[in-house]
Amino acid sequence: MAEKHFKYVIVGGGVAAGYAAQEFSKQGINPGELAIISKEAVAPYERPALSKAYLFPQGAARLPGFHCCVGGGGERLSPEWYAEKGRIELILSTEIVKADLSSKSLTSAAGATFTYNILIIATGSSTIKLTDFGVQGADANNILYLREIDDADKIVAAIQAKKDGKAIVVGGGYIGLEISAVLRLNNLDVTMVYPEPWCMPRLFTAGIAAFYEGYYANKGVKIVKGTVAVGFDSDTSGDVTTVKLKDGRVLDADIVVVGVGGRPLTSLFKGQVAEEKGGIKTDSFFQTSVPGVYAVGDVATFPMKLYGDMRRVEHVDHARKSAEQAVKAIKASEEAKSIDEYDYLPYFYSRSFDLSWQFYGDNVGEETVLFGDSDPASAKPKFGSYWIKDGKIYGAFLEGGSADENKAIAKVARVQPAVSDKNVLAQEGLQFACKI
């Protein structure tokens, strides 16, 4: 097969690739200079839609409606945009199986070779699967995961095939909470199973989690905590029928959706670039230890200027912004110009049922302060939490906030104001943030 050469190559076709393409277009590129190589069959899209609107029983989102970059308020980059306006080559359904950074070449599963001057690694993460750990029966039909649009299509097909059936969701994090909500909206009998003492333990305090667990229970979602799935039974057709838990319980199941985390896809580059904290180590411009090679999104471990340490962040907001930063740095370098260092404020959010929360900053510290109405039975619950470290607010969470109120808690997390009395802070609650 003929070798193809591009000035710039983005390997990976997720959110980061879409936002990098948009930034390249803004900065100016010539036809044929940039290629995106993706193993997916579709142009880059806003991945968060998959665990939310894509699975809605009515008015479900479908492509091309949520192609990048609508999630960040930008232009929707249709497949035609890449060819006509972006002047970018989309190379889809193409998995790269070998990367040689010394020769600046990539090799696909089909044997095609691509060479480049500048490479952006945007390979994202892969889902952790129960079959990876040899869980008995975990290869049964209708044990599903969610990362790509093909996965979402399988969940949609299972919902339709097992109408009003029993669904077990394994995991109590982002995917677990969002999938449980949307399965319940589809009128399935839903049970969440997770080993931790409360949901979303990487972010939520016990007080925050108590609200969501109560709210979900009121919506009919059953919750089983403190145990894990250790096996599955299936029928003669190979469809899953039961989930066996470590505590001895056995749950009937027509559908199982597993959301127990992901792993950054860095294996192509092992031994070729410096790594740290499970990702590819970069500078504040997302350049790796290899000149001309950049890493963005989930795979990048970068300097977190605000906290003075190195971090890897798995979230769509960082995927978007790191991709834009890398492209700006590439173009500035070519023009012998400089740009500001990446100064990222961690940001996470979720939407499920009628709920919508945002978190900014760092959930660290000796103390937390919960404020507002966190009664799961409230008609319009609205509450939040501050994380306090060394007498300062490092993190801020808000459920049910307006756009301006969410901006206020973001500012608090950035400014890190001092707190003299946490009881007064609890009483002031959101008003404290709005005064900053």
**pLDDT beneath 70, residues of the chain:** 1
The answer to whether the Cα torsion of 77, 344, 381, 206 is positive or negative is positive
Question: Residue 151 — φ and ψ, nearest 5°?
Answer: -65, -45
The residue type found at 15 is V
Closest CA relative to residue 166, chosen from 142, 202, 194, 136: 142
Number of neighbouring beta carbons within 10 Å of residue 415: 12
* pLDDT number for residue 2: 73
The residue type found at 56 is F
Please tell me the distance from the alpha carbon of residue 342 to that of residue 346, in angstroms, as a whole number.
Answer: 12
* pLDDT number for residue 1: 65
* Residues 296/280, Cβ–Cβ less than 8 Å: no
What is this structure's pTM?
Answer: 0.96
The single residue listed with the structure tokens 């962040």 is: 313
End-to-end CA separation in angstroms for the chain: 61
* Residues 8/29, Cβ–Cβ less than 8 Å: yes
- Asked, as a colleague might, if the bond just before 69 is cis with ω within 30 of 0, I would say yes
Please tell me the distance from the alpha carbon of residue 356 to that of residue 371, in angstroms, as a whole number.
Answer: 16
Residue 58 neighbours by CB under 8 Å, 6+ apart: none
Give me the residues paired with residue 113 across strands: 107
CA atoms within 13 A on the CB side of 161: 12
Percent helix / strand / coil, the chain, rounded to 5: 30, 30, 40
Q: What DSSP assignment string belongs to 275-330?
A: EETTEEE--TT-B-SSTTEEE-GGGEEEEETTTTEEEE--SHHHHHHHHHHHHHHH
Three-state SS at 102: coil
In the chain, DSSP finds a helix count (H) and a strand count (E) of 9, 26
Please tell me the distance from the alpha carbon of residue 309 to that of residue 284, in angstroms, as a whole number.
Answer: 11
State pLDDT tens for residues 167-181.
999 999 999 999 999
* pLDDT number for residue 80: 95
Residue 319 neighbours by CB under 8 Å, 6+ apart: 14, 15, 16, 19, 122, 124, 296, 297, 298
Please tell me the distance from the alpha carbon of residue 8 to that of residue 277, in angstroms, as a whole number.
Answer: 27
Q: Which domains does the chain have, with CATH numbers?
A: 4-126+263-334 (3.50.50.60), 130-260 (3.50.50.60), 354-435 (3.30.390.30)
